[in-house]
Chain A
């Protein structure tokens, strides 16, 4: 029974979602209950699996009991365990927020799509098969299309079309990449790919290198690496903010895939693909951070501010990943957890503000609960910018520390520090416009105070959104307080990533005999 627990993170939402659509379609309360129960159960399952993976063993689940290179496998190692725990712990506050703020009532099937989205994300983190990774990408994308245009509106639809077209092109590129890899190696199992790629003679690798770069491009689209990031700002800024908060984990799916593929299959000591990515991935990541920071500074709307904040944090993460060393990977993993929580918190706080006074960053009359919201905005801003009290500072310190001995280290230091400064200025500008300047305005009782949001807000359960925000903030604080154990876990995970032999042997069943 216990060995089947490994597939539960995929099966559970996959069962709950159709149940919500078919059985409790017209009962919003029941939908909320089942959706919440599913997420809580998912968190429990993920934590159990993480406890199993804690000692460094790699667990394999063979679907249909077909042995590894022939059947599809799910693989649980420390990295996968960390990612599914992060996903379920992110999903819980986001779902609470969506329920508390009433976002789930503004369109049909929010909860079912939410569950399908979780299914896709969990599957992408757990699978050990490259084509299956594509399938789970599609599952999470098709659910995200529905979530992105949830509750409709002209601009949201237009942004949705762009988002869908961009990602469909990305999916096609993914298929081209997988086809190329298959034609060279004859396999799509990741562990088997790793073995086959290492055996290919050096003069025969042209096609393989093409496939590897195309695969990296696909993941770069998902991770919003700079020249391929254009889908992100308008998609995230126009999506419902709780959905954008959940999407904070989707860019990390891209980062995870880069980390997985380029340590396991195209690792640093694989001759065939050596020197393929180092030359341009790091500069692109630096530019990503720069563009994100400048975007934060220049945003006129709160949604775009949060979206560019997410891009800046992806830039820092990708800098750490693109160094491709073990210490840098450990720093990247710590920063990954932090940036997911921080970006989600910023999106939720942005929604709190937007629900009360609209999406423009302009001085306006003080809104209800302005003290609490401005405190939360302050916390989210210092978290995302990487200021001392919260874990962003530690994460950036780890990344800076990991650049020792790298040629481009001065550039990395300069860009990360200047990017942080620019982000802080941008956040401070937005915060002071939103929360301080309003107090100086002459009182006006035209259309702003007579708007319905006031009684709307009172009617809704006003506590739950704050519970959700403080939950995410609590996660950030916990990540700071328990930074020691967290970095030790990240270091052990990175060590496991850079010693892929155990992973390969377990998946291919070589150690059982």
Chain B
């Protein structure tokens, strides 16, 4: 289980970073999404992995329980990353529609110097 979760986080992150380095809007956005999935799984695992245990402490006896706080953190992180993905899609779409180019690199500017002089 630990191995599975750890390799999932690692593979998601690696794939995300690879996609971000592609420098085109769509792969970059996909890569960002993959990294946010990775971080969600990672956050989930920070409260230790426990299977089939309720997130409730029992004060009368020693029972296995899972830490509820990371789940709240993950929920917050999911909501925020969802909103951020929507924003970056809209901005990337705006950039693509106005420049007809989906590269995330700034174009080298050759204009301007002579037109203003």
Contacts and interface: CB of A to CB of B under 8 A. Distances in A.
Q: Do A and B bind each other?
A: yes
A168 B88 contact: yes
A154 B100 CA distance: 10
A447 to B, nearest CB: 9
B42 A135 contact: no
Given A149-B91, A149-B94, A157 B99 contact: yes
Contacts of B99: 154, 157-158
B32 A158 contact: no
Given A138-B80, A175-B43, A165 B28 contact: yes
Most A CB within 10 A of own CB, among B32, B91, B99? B91
A142 B84 contact: yes
A162 B104 contact: yes
B113 interface: yes
B52 interface: no
A180 B42 CA distance: 9
A362 B116 CA distance: 8
A183 B98 CA distance: 45
A488 interface: no
Given A142-B84, A175-B43, A183-B46, A362 B117 contact: yes
Using C-beta atoms within 8 Å of the partner chain, give the interface range for chain B: 35 or more
Interface in A152-183: 152-155, 157-162, 164-165, 168-169, 171-172, 175-176, 178-180, 182-183
Most B CB within 10 A of own CB, among A160, A161, A171, A182? A161
A169 B116 contact: no
Given A138-B84, A172-B39, A360-B116, A162 B106 contact: yes
A176 B32 contact: no
Interface residues of A, number: 37
A340 interface: no
Contacts of A159: 106
A154 B84 contact: no
B14 interface: no
B73 interface: yes
Contacts of A178: 43, 73
A179 B46 CA distance: 6
A179 B13 CA distance: 15
A161 B116 contact: no
A145 interface: yes
A179 B84 CA distance: 20
A85 to B, nearest CB: 28
A135 B80 contact: yes
Contacts of B39: 172, 175-176, 179
Contacts of B80: 135, 138, 171
A29 to B, nearest CB: 28
Given A138-B84, A172-B36, A362-B116, A160 B91 contact: yes
A362 B115 CA distance: 11
B107 A158 contact: yes
Contacts of A466: none
Interface in B74-95: 76-77, 80-81, 83-84, 87-88, 91-92, 94-95
A171 B106 CA distance: 22
Contact of A164 (B43, B46, B88, B116): B88
B35 A169 contact: yes
B87 A145 contact: yes
A234 interface: yes
Contacts of A135: 76, 80
Contacts of B48: 183
12 contacts: A131-B76, A142-B87, A157-B98, A158-B99, A161-B91, A161-B92, A164-B91, A171-B84, A172-B35, A175-B42, A175-B43, A179-B42
